[in-house]
């Protein structure tokens, strides 16, 4: 699936992936998709929890070569 | 849906305890919660322009003493430092502080100053306890821009309606 913007949080620990993703998605329009890349294992649960709490839609979660990928669609 | 609210009291001023309030507050703000942190007693210096917080291993028996450099097996060693050393040797706290900062940096953890900046950028209300300021002789100009000033009642008025209340 395609995305409109991307943020690479590789090497960052809690709470940076969530905080940086929030700041990034705030610059986007509702309905647009943000791709988030992380290496922090904690972010596997943190990113979905954040998205769910603030009303963004988790479209995809994947892991590849020690990196985690998330596609989050911005809510209203 | 009404915004969730979180009220935190930050009363400790050591480096290890400086992290939790700022980490939890920035995360909660990123989750669209309204957050206020009440900095009181030894937590108050965390609002000063330059954060000089240190760790004191002698007072924290459970604190792992590990080296943030060298081979993996070396880094895994938890050094058994006798209390007579950690509590008495001059400069030990400064050494432990720089080791902790290096360890955190290696692991991609933001500094306390960076976390504080993020909190302010995300709209977290950092409140300096007016009474503690008077007791310890701090003035408004000693603190970073964006800090607000209040007493216990004003903070509790917010905390009474908060969904999450924590003491750090």
Can you give the pLDDT at residue B5?
Answer: 98
pLDDT band, residue B140 (cuts 50/70/90): very high
* pLDDT, chain B, mean: 94
Q: How far is CA B147 from CA B26, B52, B96, in A?
A: 15, 18, 30
* Cβ distance of B107 and A18 shorter than 8 Å: no
Give B-chain residues touching A67 at CB under 8 angstroms.
none
Within-domain flag for A71: no
Catalytic status, residue A14 = yes
Q: What is the H or E stretch that residue B9 is in?
A: strand B5-10
Residue A68 covered by a domain: no
What pLDDT is recorded for position A76?
86
- Best to test chain B binding among A7, A8, A12, A15 (most B CBs inside 10 Å): A15
Which domains are delineated in chain B? 5-52+111-167 (3.40.1260.10), 57-106 (no CATH)
Counted domains in chain A: 1
- Calculate how close chain A gets to B128, using CA atoms only, in Å: 24
Report yes or no on A9 lying in a domain: no
pLDDT in tens, A19-66: 999 999 999 999 999 999 999 999 999 999 999 999 999 999 999 999
**Tens digit of pLDDT for each residue in B62-115?**
888 899 999 999 999 999 888 888 888 889 999 999 999 999 999 999 999 999
In a domain, A72, yes or no: no
For chain B positions 48-107, those within 8 Å of chain A (CB to CB) are: 107
| Complex ipTM value | 0.92
The percent of residues above 70 in pLDDT, for chain B, comes to 100
Per-residue pLDDT at B84: 83
* Residue from B119, B124, B129, B116 nearest B156 by CA: B129
- What is B40-83 written as a DSSP string? -GGGGGGGBSS------GGG-TT-----SSS-HHHHT------H
């Amino acid at each position: 699936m395609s995305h409109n913007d991307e943020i690479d949080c590789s090497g960052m620990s809690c709470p940076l992936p969530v905080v940086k993703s929030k700041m990034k998605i705030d610059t986007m329009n509702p309905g647009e998709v943000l791709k988030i890349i992380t290496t922090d294992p904690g972010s596997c649960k943190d990113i979905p929890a954040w998205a769910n709490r603030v009303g963004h839609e988790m479209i995809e979660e994947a892991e590849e070569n020690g990196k985690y990928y998330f596609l989050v669609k911005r809510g209203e | 849906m009404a915004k969730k609210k979180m009220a935190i009291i930050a009363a400790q001023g050591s480096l290890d305890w400086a992290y939790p309030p700022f980490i939890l507050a920035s995360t909660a703000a990123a989750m669209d919660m309204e957050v206020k942190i009440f900095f009181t007693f030894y937590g108050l210096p965390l609002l000063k322009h330059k954060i000089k917080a240190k760790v004191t291993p002698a007072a924290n028996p459970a604190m792992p003493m590990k080296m943030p450099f060298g081979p993996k097996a070396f880094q895994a060693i938890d050094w058994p430092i006798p209390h007579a050393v950690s509590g008495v040797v001059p400069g030990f706290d400064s050494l432990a502080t720089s080791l902790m900062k290096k360890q955190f940096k290696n692991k991609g953890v933001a500094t306390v100053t960076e976390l504080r900046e993020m909190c302010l950028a995300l709209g977290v209300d950092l409140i300096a306890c007016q009474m503690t300021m008077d007791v310890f002789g701090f003035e408004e100009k000693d603190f970073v821009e964006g800090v607000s000033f209040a007493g216990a009642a004003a903070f509790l008025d917010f905390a009474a309606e908060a969904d999450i209340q924590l003491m750090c």
